[in-house]
Structure 1
Amino acid sequence: MPGKMRIQQTIIALFVTSLFLFLPQHRGVLASSTFKLQKGKTLIYGHNLNEGDIGVPGLVFINKRGMFKTGRTWSEIITRGRINPSSHTWISRYGSVTFNNFGKDFPDGGMNEAGLFIWEMNEEADYPKNDSLPKLNQMNWMQYILDNYSTTEEAIRCASEFEIDGWACHFFVGDAEGNTAAIAFINGEVVVHTGDEMPVPALFNSPYDRELELSKYFRGFGGEYQPDETDPNVPRFVRTAVMIDNYQKEDDPIDYGFYMLKTLRVFNDPEWSILFDAQNRTVHFRTRINPERKTLVMDEIDFSNNEPALVLNMATAFSGNILSVFKPYSKSIMQHFIRFELLPVLPKDFYTHGDLSARQFTDRIVNHTDSYTDSTNHFFKGTWESSRTEDEDEPHFLINFDVEGNAVTAVISPDSGDAPYNVDNLRMSGHQFCFTFQTKSGKILEVKGTIRDNEMLVNLQGIEDSYGDYTLKRTH
């Protein structure tokens, strides 16, 4: 027995050492946790933010669909000369609920209305470099995924479609079907664990392969040590597997999810504990400062772009359903938050190493979304008309894009004299777009297109029929 105890102590020491080796130097002690709990009709995604009890502030955002956005790199935000800027633009297809501590469209994580979940955790990362790809910082990249995709498979593909910068992170992704992935960036390559390569649907602050390696010493994974879900000396990865296995159908899934988050705490109570119930489409969270449980029902949220994004301080004293206490997003809210809540807990060299003052850093974060005010970015705006031909079977139609603030609307007008059709599922990334519309007869059509100067190349598809390719010209 003494020999076994020494071996166990050595393994635990190695585990703890591996955690600290991968902690970034500028953000203190980090020990965040993310998991999926799925059994029967239960599908919960949970996250703890542990940052050594430094009092991390945060905002909850309700982000809208149909919003025009321009990406940013972190080097662009943090350096006086705006080094390596992004020029990528998009229009959001989905609304989402996100938890942010660095401003609008800079989430720590969240879920969109299609049930796609993503969260970051600090870990060593070597993001691939590719000048031919569009650029985004790692938070902006997460918002891009929530704005545009509905499945884990799409999120995995997106990891290879951008050059990402920012601090070192790896990412947990899950969708409404329960498909999960751990996405990391190691030695300049995208490394993904999913399906059978992800036997425990959880991610912490060590590489997934390292978690698998350490788990082999415990029962249930081929080892001899009995794991106790409440023992902080047992890796969180192993304890999470035990707690998932111990979940019973009679357990309340939200109560059990919060029990898991409490059990996975490191050092102190988590700064944030958040649950997304993907089946019942609800969001539940509490903070260390205000531990009362707060709830959002996603089906009660208007994700349309008729009104601006909504925001709420995570530390609000309200409990229960909190939708009614959200406020329309404004720069003044963001500026107050950064000045009085974020900056006091940030190490000063976090922003001064880019030769910025506190005021300049605040202005960069607050104003980074202002690109929509530049009309030169509205390359899609206007009326686009297909060519008329003598062929009566050849459809003739108009597509009109309009912008009000950063909200984008679109309608399609047929030549039949019918009233214009409202566009649904609008998504644009760069100069490529896609949307659907439903005709008066109930037929659903999909339009995919690319804009090149004053020319729009469009493909029109029905559910089973193809209506061909068309070239539209901007008329005004």
Structure 2
Amino acid sequence: MIAYSYDTSATGAGYVVINPVGATRASIVDLSTASWKSRYGSVSFNQMGPGMPTAGMNTAGLFISLMWNDAVQFPKAADSDIVNELELIQRVLDQAAMVEDAVRLVQNASVQAWSRIHYFIGDSTGRTAALLPTANGLVVRVDENMPIRALTNSSYDDLLEALSNYAGFGGTEPLPTRVETPNPNSLERFIFAASASRNNAPVDTRDGFAALEAVENPETRWQIVGEPGTGVIAFRLPGGDQQWRINTAEIDYSCMPTPLAQSLGNLPASDMEVRFQPLDRDQLTETLAEVLEGFSDTIGLPLELARPIANAQFNALVCSD
């Protein structure tokens, strides 16, 4: 069970996207020669359009998500086989089955980044990894080097060191409570997540959402609970109790000329079913413009790029014969 909260002050706009198996995908980075074929189908949550996920899970049970981290610095792209930091998530979903596969792909990637993000990965065996891009290479925390299977918006080493000052984790300081911290910072969210994950017994979707409630804050936009072992994804939006569920094993991952997606701003109100439809290019352009405007002070891309990005994303996926 993996519980993920996407928090941003910018916007909650975005899509749930079906990513096909057996398709060839190319990077939209200028002058990039990067392309790859998808071995696995996946369902992803995308704020920046198809092929550039925020989080997702594939048919092998591999889950990957991003979190902002101001300490991140991607090394300078070393060759022309370049992807951006979100396309890298898609490449992992398309080609990795286990944590070690994902780590290898991220380690070998040449990235041209718009934003400062690090990655959390989990697979169907229960293994997890925290991946921190730095100027000197990728810092990987996995297995015994990841004693707390959680990550927030700070580097894992810094979080672990700070956590060691608290009772139950090697220190004497009293643990903060949710009542005392209505808007928890990165460390406090890590403490809450660490407390929730100390018990390794199996949990259900309800427990996953309960853990997300402990770290919820005014910037929470999506709450996602993935079950890598069963292939079920449940998600909800803040401010309501309704959940939507996706059984990834029941999806047809055949390649389609137009990506299949569900807008997160137009979810069915009366049932749990997600109704995937061909993505409309004009609607995607409007969504991208909203997202670019919301992230103008961090990503800094002009709104005029919304249409070219949408066009490039539609052209980036080619169905194999």
TM over 0.5: yes
Establish whether residue 255 from structure 1 lines up as the match of residue 203 from structure 2: no
- The answer to whether residue 24 in structure 2 is matched with residue 68 in structure 1 is yes
The answer to whether the aligner puts 1:121 opposite 2:67 as a matched pair is yes
Report what 2:122 is aligned to.
174
Deviations 1:343-390 (A, max 9, x none): 5534378445xxx5x23x112221113546xxxxxxxxxxxxxxxxxx
SS at match of 1:406: strand
What are the within-5 Å matches in structure 2 for residues 29-48 of structure 1?
44-48=1-5
Q: Which amino acid aligns with 2:33?
A: S
How do residues 370-389 of structure 1 correspond to structure 2 at under 5 angstroms? 370-371=314-315
Aligned residues: 313
Change (3 A) 1:408 1:290: farther
CA contact (8 A) 2:5 2:212 kept: yes
**Cα displacement string for residues 149-200 of structure 1 (whole angstroms, at most 9, x for unaligned residues):** 1111011111221211221111001111111111111233111000111000
1:154 aligns with 2:111: no
**Partner in structure 1 of residue 251 of structure 2:** 301
Please report the TM-score for the alignment, with normalisation by the length of structure 1. 0.61
After superposition, residues 236-385 of structure 1 pair within 5 angstroms as 236-245=189-198, 253-266=204-217, 268=218, 270-288=220-238, 291-305=241-255, 308-315=258-265, 316-318=267-269, 320-323=271-274, 325-339=275-289, 341-343=290-292, 345-347=294-296, 350-351=299-300, 356=302, 358-359=303-304, 361-371=305-315
Is residue 2:318 matched to residue 1:406? yes
Once the 2 structures are TM-superposed, how far is the Cα of residue 332 of structure 1 from its aligned partner?
2.9
Please tell me whether the aligned partners of residues 61 and 309 of structure 1 are also in contact (alpha carbons under 8 angstroms).
Answer: yes
TM-score, normalised to structure 2, is 0.89
CA RMSD, 1 decimal: 2.4
CA contact (8 A) 2:75 2:137 kept: yes
Contact kept in structure 1, 2:148 and 2:198, CA below 8 Å: no
**Mapped pair 1:213 → 2:213:** no
Partner of 1:112: 58
Contact 1:71 1:135 in 2 (8 A): yes
Relative distance call for 1:241 and 1:289 in structure 2 (3 A) is closer
- Aligned with 1:128: secondary structure? coil
Deviation per CA, 1:382-439, whole angstroms, max 9, x where unpaired? xxxxxxxxxxxxxxxxxxxxxxx82113xxxxxxxxxxxxxxxxxxxxxxxxxxxxxx
Deviations 1:186-232 (Å, cap 9, x if unpaired)?
A: 23311100011100011111111101110111122211123255353
Identity %: 26
Structure 2: how far apart are the matches of 1:317 and 1:368? 29
The AA in structure 1 aligned to 2:291 is: L
Name which of structure 1's ranges 112-121 and 217-226 shifts more when overlaid on structure 2: 217-226
Structure 1 unmatched ranges of 5 or more: 1-43, 77-84, 373-404, 410-476
Q: 2:171 aligns with which of 223, 235, 246?
A: 223
Amino acid at match of 1:241: A
Look up the equivalent residue of 2:172 and give its one-letter code.
Answer: E
Letter matched to residue 17 of structure 2: F
Matched residues in 2 for 1:283 and 1:226: separation?
35
3-state SS of paired residue (1:321): coil
Which residues of 2 match residues 404-443 of structure 1 at below 5 A?
406-409=318-321
In 2, are the aligned partners of 1:276 and 1:284 still within 8 Å (CA)? yes
Alignment partners' CA distance in 2, 1:71 and 1:343: 19
Distance 1:368 1:307 in 2: 14
| Residue identity opposite 1:92 in structure 2 | S
Q: Which amino acid aligns with 2:320?
A: V
Separation in structure 2 between the aligned mates of residue 349 and residue 263 of structure 1, nearest angstrom: 27
Q: How far apart are the structure 1 equivalents of 2:293 and 2:194?
A: 37
Answer 1 or 2: which has greater strand percent: 1
Structure 2, gaps ≥5 residues long:
none
Distance 2:132 2:17 in 1: 26
For residues 236 and 336 of structure 1, the distance between their equivalents in structure 2, rounded to whole angstroms, comes to 33
Q: CA shift at 1:90, angstroms?
A: 1.3
The structure with the larger Rg is: 1
Pair 247,173 (structure 1): closer, same or farther in 2 beyond 3 Å: closer
Residues of 2 paired with 1:317 and 1:229: CA distance?
35
Change in CA separation of 1:349 and 1:133 when aligned onto 2, cut-off 3 Å: closer
1:225 & 1:329 partners in 2: Cα distance? 51
SS in 2 for 1:318: coil
Contact 1:334 1:366 in 2 (8 A): yes
Equivalent residue in structure 1 for 2:145, among 185, 193, 197: 197
In 2, distance between residues paired with 1:260 and 1:229? 13
